[in-house]
Structure 1
Amino acid sequence: MAIKLYGAALSPFVRKTRVFLAEKDIPFESVHVDPFNAPEDYSNINPLRRIPAMEHDGRLLADSAVICAYLERAFPETPALYPMDAADYAHALWLEKYADYELAPLTTFTVFRNRVIMKLMGKPSDEERIARALTEKLPPHFAYLESQIKGREWLAGEQFSIADIAVASQFANFAHGGEHLDPQQYPSLAAHVDKVLSRPSFSALLERENSFVAKLRGG
């Protein structure tokens, strides 16, 4: 049975899952679900009515971290996206969680949501809230991630992994919101994010996303 992935293109969590599938070269069907106006029966797929959700062989899964972990086990013959070493594996899980729970509230739910989603909904952007995020809340996170990648090729272990995908997915939304890392202040992190977002798995998605966001923000 083909995989069905439910979600919306600009969600960093949906993007993370799509990139994961692309990196493992797993075919899937994308089913659009507007998280603000999901169909009533979507509760049967995800009782929390959040995105993404996935259906595979009659199994229903929700939450991007759960979906990616499942895919790694279900398709072991494809390139591994979790480190084999126990310490590196734990670090990858930690950085994925860090991206989803520490970066996301600021890069996505503050900057991106106000600059893009609020405009889509015809509501004003809360620029004071964005300013606080940029000047007070995000710099410690950027500094931490700079320390994690400095002198390394990848965030966890010796190979590209879920940690790199999760972190870069949040910075994609940060860029959609009109903000970017300062390469003078965070040179290693900025270069790493650019490198990851340039991978074919990301660039194919971002080309379409960038076009849509540009039209929206310029309209």
Structure 2
Amino acid sequence: MALIIYGMGPSPFVRKVRVVMAEKGVDYTLENVNIFPAPDWFMEISPLKRIPVLRDTDKPEPNTIPDSSAICLYLEQTHPEPQLYPQDGFERGRAAWLEEYADTEMAGNIGLGVFRPIALSALMGKEQDTETANKTMTEKMPRIFDYLSDVLGDRDYMVGSAFSIADIAVATQFVNLQHAGFKVDAAKWPALADYVARIHARPSFTALIDEEAALFAKTRAA
């Protein structure tokens, strides 16, 4: 099976897929695609004009799957070990909900409200919008931190007792918050801050965080 991922490294959705592949030991090739604007050939395989898209060259065309959640589900089916989706039906449903929450609520606020105004603007050589980022952190992020803290409780993981797609989906959004220079206030949300640090310390996350941090460091140096 020859797998290609089309996307950009700093995307939380591309990172989500790459973490799943790292956890499962799946080989792949990453082909960078700039979607600002997306090329015509890419829009043909990604109707929503979003990254990532997976291509399985061992499959007959059409051999692509757009959307990170769909890709991760495919990888779970083709590479079932280690299992990243809970076996229990209710816990699997909870994991799917938290993945959706991360992909929409977290991504919308962190991506549009913090990451794009700060990190992406710097990467594209534009002026940073610190006012928007600070306002998002003050007015919108606390309720997200509160909710995730309540979900986590005193457990090590978001769902059940094992690392799952829920943790990957949630933690990948926090990487983008970190790239923008923000983090969870450990004084207000100690358990959540510890959780994020532990998940980001996994080798599957650490390698990508370091790779992306080097990219942003070049931007700052320039």
Q: Note if 1:91 corresponds to 2:94.
A: yes
Q: Is the 8 A contact 1:61 1:67 kept in 2?
A: yes
Q: Hey, what's the Cα distance between the residues in 2 that align with 1:151 and 1:116? A: 32
Q: Which amino acid aligns with 2:157?
A: W
Q: Is the 8 A contact 1:116 1:216 kept in 2?
A: no
Q: Is the 8 A contact 1:116 1:217 kept in 2?
A: no
Matched residue, 1:180: 183
Matched residue, 1:213: 216
Q: In the TM superposition, what is the alpha-carbon distance from 1:124 to its structure 2 partner?
A: 2.2
Q: Is the 8 A contact 2:123 2:216 kept in 1?
A: no
Q: Which amino acid aligns with 1:91?
A: R
Q: In the TM superposition, what is the alpha-carbon distance from 1:143 to its structure 2 partner?
A: 0.6
SS at match of 2:35: coil
Q: Which runs of 4+ in 1 moved over 6 A?
A: none
Q: In the TM superposition, what is the alpha-carbon distance from 1:122 to its structure 2 partner?
A: 3.0
Q: Hey, what's the Cα distance between the residues in 2 that align with 1:218 and 1:111? A: 21
Q: Which moved more, 1:9-18 or 1:38-47?
A: 38-47
Task: Give the counterpart of 1:102 among 81, 105, 110.
Answer: 105
Q: Hey, what's the Cα distance between the residues in 1 that align with 2:170 and 2:139? A: 20
Matched residue, 1:161: 164
Q: In the TM superposition, what is the alpha-carbon distance from 1:75 to its structure 2 partner?
A: 2.0
Matched ranges for 1:20-169 at <5 A: 20-56=20-56, 57-58=59-60, 59-76=63-80, 78-169=81-172
Taking every aligned residue pair, what percent have the same amino acid on both sides? 43
Q: In the TM superposition, what is the alpha-carbon distance from 1:43 to its structure 2 partner?
A: 2.0
| TM-score (ref. length: structure 1) | 0.95
Q: In the TM superposition, what is the alpha-carbon distance from 1:119 to its structure 2 partner?
A: 2.1
Q: Is the 8 A contact 2:5 2:55 kept in 1?
A: yes
Unaligned stretches of 5+ residues in structure 1? none
Aligned-residue RMSD, C-alpha? 1.3
Question: How many residues are paired up?
Answer: 218
1:87-106 CA deviation, whole Å, 9 max, x = no partner? 11111111111111011112
Q: Hey, what's the Cα distance between the residues in 2 that align with 1:86 and 1:94? A: 12
| TM-score (ref. length: structure 2) | 0.94
Q: Which moved more, 1:41-50 or 1:162-171?
A: 41-50
Q: Is the 8 A contact 2:123 2:219 kept in 1?
A: yes
Q: Which amino acid aligns with 1:22?
A: A
Unaligned stretches of 5+ residues in structure 2? none
